Amino acid sequence: MSEPLLHLTERSLWDAARDRGTYEMSTRGRTLQEEGFIHCSLRHQLPGVAALLYGSRPGPDEL
């Protein structure tokens, strides 16, 4: 498979991980330590995953 794996996260968590040099979140509200792996998706799965994990959350235009 040559399709990249993608991971959805919140900008603040990603920025903090870049500053620390390590990313330790698995999915929304769950750490890698708690879950045991980092959730990833293929590009065609992203809309469903985004709706499931972030659908109830206001977007940047709604804040």
Supply the Cα-derived Rg of the chain in whole angstroms.
13
Contact 49, 56 (CB under 8 A): no
**What pairs with residue 25 in β-bridges?**
31
More confident site: 58 or 41: 41
More confident site: 18 or 60: 18
In the structure encoding, which two tokens stand for residue 11, read together? Answer: 């900008």
Contact 35, 28 (CB under 8 A): no
Q: What is the pLDDT of residues 12-55, one digit of tens each?
A: 999 999 999 999 999 888 999 999 999 999 999 999 998 988 88
